[in-house]
C-alpha cells in the first residue's frame, strides 16, 4: 500500500541571534510514515520533539526554526520545498491540526459560526445558506447539542470539552486526508476525555482519514492508535505496533514510561515509579545516546555512540545498544 505521508531523515534547527547565528539541533533524522486510514501515535515526555515534528510537517515552525535536512512527502509532494503561500493552500484543506488548548486557538472576538464559515469559504468556496448549513451539519457531527445556538456563541461561553468539539468540527470541515491532534485531551477531565476519544474513533470508523495523535499518555495511545513512535530528546527511539508496545517494549525509556503508567504495585503501594532525571535541553545533549544519563542499563558504549534505529522484529525498530528484551 502506498503511504499517504513519508518523513525521511528530517532534522530541524533553531537559530539564536547574536553576532553570528548559532544553530541548535532539536530534531535529529526523524523517519515516520503513515498509510491512508491509519492512526500513528507520537509519545514522549514534554520537550522530546513531538510537537516540533508536527509543526515542521505543517510548515509552522517557530521564528528562527528551519528544516536542516530531510524531506516531508505528503500525497507525492515534498512539503519542505513549498512556499508559505502553497503550504497555506494545503493547511485546512488537506491537513488539519487540532491544538491542545482550544481557547488559545479559537478567535475570542468571532462567533463559532463565523470561524467555521471562514474555513469553508476559503477552501470550499461555500457562501450564504449553503455555508451555514454545512456549519450546522459539522457541529451536529461532533455531537454538539443545540448547534443553532452554539453557532452564534463566542468561545468563552463554552466549556473546555465543547470548545474541543468545535476544534474537531473545524478540522473536519474540508474532509482532509490527514488530521493532526496535538494533546487534544490533556486539559480535559476524565469523563470528557473519554467522550472525545470516542468521537475520534467514531470519525475514524466512518471515514478514511488518517491521524497523527501526539500525547504523553500511553492510555490514550492504547485507545486510538495502530502504530506508535516513541520520541526522546529529538530522536525516535522506538517504533512498533501498539500491541507490540504494550506486550514487549524494548527501549529502556519506553519501558520506564510503561512502569510509570502501571503506578503502584502490591509490593510497594506507597511509591509511584518515575524515570530519574529529566529530558536534556537542546544544545546541552550528552555524548552518545541522549537517554544514557537516565538509563539503568547504560554501559560505556552508550555514552560514546548514538545507536542506530535498528529492526529487532518485523515492524519493530529500536534505537538502543542494550535493549530490555
In the numeric block, the cell 529502556 is attached to 252
Band of residue 200 on the pLDDT scale cut at 50, 70, 90? very high
Neighbours of 176 (CB within 10 A): 21
The pLDDT of 210-217, averaged and rounded, is 94
First to last CA, the chain: 30
**In this prediction, what percent of the chain has a pLDDT beyond 70?**
95
Cα distance between residue 197 and residue 41, in whole Å: 13
What are the cell numbers at 47?
Answer: 520537550
The pLDDT of 274-280, averaged and rounded, is 91
The pLDDT of 179-199, averaged and rounded, is 89
Q: What is the pLDDT of residue 262?
A: 59
Cα distance between residue 148 and residue 166, in whole Å: 13
Among 14, 51, 286, 49, which Cα is nearest to 183's? 51
Which residue did the predictor score with more confidence, 230 or 89? Answer: 230
Q: What is the pLDDT of residue 145?
A: 93
Q: What is the pLDDT of residues 309-319, one digit of tens each?
A: 999 999 999 99
pLDDT at 265 over 90: no
Sheet holding 77-78: strands in order across? 22-35, 3-16, 65-74, 77-78
Phi and psi based region of residue 190 (left: phi greater than 0; alpha: psi -120 to 50; beta: remaining):
alpha
Find out if CATH 3.20.20.60 is the number for domain 3-225. Answer: no
Q: What is the pLDDT of residue 264?
A: 45
pLDDT at 266 over 70: no
Q: What is the pTM of this model?
A: 0.91
Cα distance between residue 4 and residue 120, in whole Å: 24
The pLDDT of 162-189, averaged and rounded, is 92
Query: Where in the chain are the domains?
Result: 3-225, 252-325
pLDDT at 285 over 50: yes
Q: Picking from 51-60, 120-129, 264-273, which range would have the lowest pLDDT averaged per residue?
A: 264-273
Q: What is the pLDDT of residues 130-170, one digit of tens each?
A: 999 999 999 999 999 999 999 999 999 999 899 999 999 99
Q: What is the pLDDT of residue 274?
A: 86
Q: What is the pLDDT of residues 38-59, one digit of tens each?
A: 999 999 999 999 999 999 999 9
Q: What is the pLDDT of residue 162?
A: 94
Radius of gyration of the chain (CA): 21
Residues 197, 199, 203, 209, CA torsion sign: negative
Band of residue 101 on the pLDDT scale cut at 50, 70, 90? confident
pLDDT at 90 over 80: yes
Q: Picking from 116-120, 132-136, 215-219, which range would have the lowest pLDDT averaged per residue?
A: 215-219
Q: Which residues pair with 51 in a beta bridge?
A: none
What are the cell numbers at 61?
Answer: 515552525
Q: What is the pLDDT of residue 18?
A: 64
Give the 3-state secondary structure of residue 186: coil
pLDDT at 269 over 70: no
Q: What is the pLDDT of residue 291?
A: 96
Amino acid at each position: 500500500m502506498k503511504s499517504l505521508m513519508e518523513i525521511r531523515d528530517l532534522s530541524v534547527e533553531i537559530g539564536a541571534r547574536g553576532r553570528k547565528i548559532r544553530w541548535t539541533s532539536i530534531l535529529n533524522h526523524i523517519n515516520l510514515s503513515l498509510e491512508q486510514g491509519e492512526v500513528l501515535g507520537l509519545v514522549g515526555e514534554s520537550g522530546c520533539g513531538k510537537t516540533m515534528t508536527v509543526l515542521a510537517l505543517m510548515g509552522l515552525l517557530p521564528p528562527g526554526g528551519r528544516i536542516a535536512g530531510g524531506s516531508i512527502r505528503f500525497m507525492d509532494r515534498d512539503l519542505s520545498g513549498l512556499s508559505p503561500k502553497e503550504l497555506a493552500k494545503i493547511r485546512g484543506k488537506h491537513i488539519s491540526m487540532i491544538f491542545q488548548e482550544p481557547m488559545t486557538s479559537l478567535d475570542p472576538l468571532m462567533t463559532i459560526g463565523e470561524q467555521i464559515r471562514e474555513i469553508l469559504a476559503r477552501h470550499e468556496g461555500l457562501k450564504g445558506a449553503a455555508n451555514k448549513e454545512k456549519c450546522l451539519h459539522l457541529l451536529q457531527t461532533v455531537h454538539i447539542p443545540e448547534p443553532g445556538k452554539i453557532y452564534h456563541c463566542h468561545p468563552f461561553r463554552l466549556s473546555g470539552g465543547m470548545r474541543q468539539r468545535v476544534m474537531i468540527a473545524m478540522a473536519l470541515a474540508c474532509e482532509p486526508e490527514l488530521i493532526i491532534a496535538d494533546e487534544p485531551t490533556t486539559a480535559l477531565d476524565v469523563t470528557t476525555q473519554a467522550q472525545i476519544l470516542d468521537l475520534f474513533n467514531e470519525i475514524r470508523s466512518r471515514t478514511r482519514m488518517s491521524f497523527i495523535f501526539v500525547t504523553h499518555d500511553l492510555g490514550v495511545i492504547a485507545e486510538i492508535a495502530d502504530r506508535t513512535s516513541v520520541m526522546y530528546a529529538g530522536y525516535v527511539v522506538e517504533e512498533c505496533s501498539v500491541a507490540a508496545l504494550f506486550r514487549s517494549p524494548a527501549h529502556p525509556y519506553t519501558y520506564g514510561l510503561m512502569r510509570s503508567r502501571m503506578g503502584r504495585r502490591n509490593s510497594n503501594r506507597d511509591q509511584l515509579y518515575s524515570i530519574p532525571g529529566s529530558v536534556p535541553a537542546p544544545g546541552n545533549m550528552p555524548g552518545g545516546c541522549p537517554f544514557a544519563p537516565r538509563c539503568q542499563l547504560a554501559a560505556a558504549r552508550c555514552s560514546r555512540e548514538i545507536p542506530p534505529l535498528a529492526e529487532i522484529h518485523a515492524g519493530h525498530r529500536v534505537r538502543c545498544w542494550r535493549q530490555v528484551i
